[in-house]
Chain A
Amino acid sequence: MKLPEKTLRQLLFEMMRIRQIQLAIESRYLENEMKTPVHLCIGQEAVAVGVCANLKKYDYINSTHRGHGHYLAKGGDLRALIAELYGREAGCSKGRGGSMHLADTTIGHYGSSSIVGGGIPIGTGMGLAIKMQKKNKVSVIFFGDGAADEGVLYESINFAVLKKLPVIFILENNQYSVCSKVSARQAGDNIFHAMPAGLLMTKKVNGNNVLDVYNASLKAVARARTGHGPSFIECLTYRIRGHAGCEVQDVPGYRPVGEIERWKTLCPIAAFRKKLLTNKMITLNEIKKMEKKIDKQIEDAFAFARTAPPPKPETLPLYLFRE
């Protein structure tokens, strides 16, 4: 499918933005001012961006502990994200959630769970609500290969198919759960790839190719919006950094160094950038301008977060219940 140049440039910009923000978090992480376990999505940007480019502001997403990219790609506020990492009242979860629990209901992001697979049935239930309310929304659920080990995925997809829900399951296969390789945990290909297409649209795509992700999720979104039921898209990608923290905190020894280096050469952003440059859809100068624009946003967000006040101690019991 041929996309307008503007859209292509936007896809590049969004991926660059998520990458630069991740790098900025990483470069400041050892200052120990962001006292929260960050799970960086460096190398996986194409999944969040390719999917979210097909969504409307009112569509729902459900994310995970590795959720910065999903939050940003859906349009989550950058200042509120960084303030959350600094444990500030101005954070998107008022400093109560931390890096793993981001939310912005104004853009359809109702919170992410750090229990692996925990968000899958919740996103499915949001799909049920959409259907019952006869709304023209879709519910997208991002989860990793670790969550695909969990029985709740099977239970949720079964229910989504049974009720023909407007839900899109995005398996972001970055090949590792902490230090465990997917092949040590799963017997073979995910069973849902064997489902009849009429019941569940399934697809396997190169998760490092933003256009592949975009095109697959475009079909899934159209299918969901027209009442044809759920889809399951597996995006193969790679976790360049360790499970949590910054590069130097990744424990050595559980994966070959050569493997990391090889996947670095398959960087989703570098590949797409090259493609646009080669096809003269963007110039180096324009890319530089984008980088500068993003840097400015980052500086602004960190300056905001560092100086924002932490929650007042007397607010500790707030929010347990909604009055």
Chain B
Amino acid sequence: MRSVFETMGTVASIELAADEPDALDGIRGIFADAEKRFSLYRPGSELSRVNAGERPLAAASAELRDAYALAMDWHLRTAGAFTPNRPDGSIDLNGVVKALCISRAGELLHSLALKDWSINVGGDVLCAGLSPTGDWVIGIVDPVDRQSLLCALPLGEGRRAIATSGSAERGDHIWTIDRDTAAEFVQVSVIAEDILAADVLATAIISGGIEMLDLATDTWAIDVLAVRTDGSLLATPGVRSLISV
């Protein structure tokens, strides 16, 4: 049973095995609370007020400081490729907040003993158990023709999350490290057990290019399908084996 609602400037699609109004209300609440706190489009959000200098970061809520600390932690782990600090000095936590909310929504469903579900928010997916048709099969959009799929692959134990970032999103919360270098990838999909790692690393690879791609595949248990600017593809061994299933 699928439910759809708008949040964070995009759309969330939740699939549950049965009608679960309480679970859906809980998930809506998680996203609504985060949007109220972190939105850069709402002048009254806590983060907007911090950026406007109306509130010092040190006096911000624990939720905001925790999210910033987490983003800075990933900044260090990706050698600067991922960053919550915009070139103009303001803080943008969109790179972690959506994934954090998806992660929390997953924990909520787990705590309600729901075993089979998927959460897709703006193209970032976390799933558990089985879909009505078996494995959760995820299609990856072809950035050259967004009405068609590049490939389809199953998620499962150990790789329950997939996040895709595109270079067209840059200017939103993605900036290349070397601003003179054109982006090497137009789209990067990262498959991981954890939606936050998948989302952060997909963003970092768009921003940091092939060097960050190699660092990411060497360091974390992830799989990657990357589309270069000429439309050609790079895939890790895991992606090759998944698409041949």
**A and B assemble together:** no
Residues of A within 8 A of B (CB): none
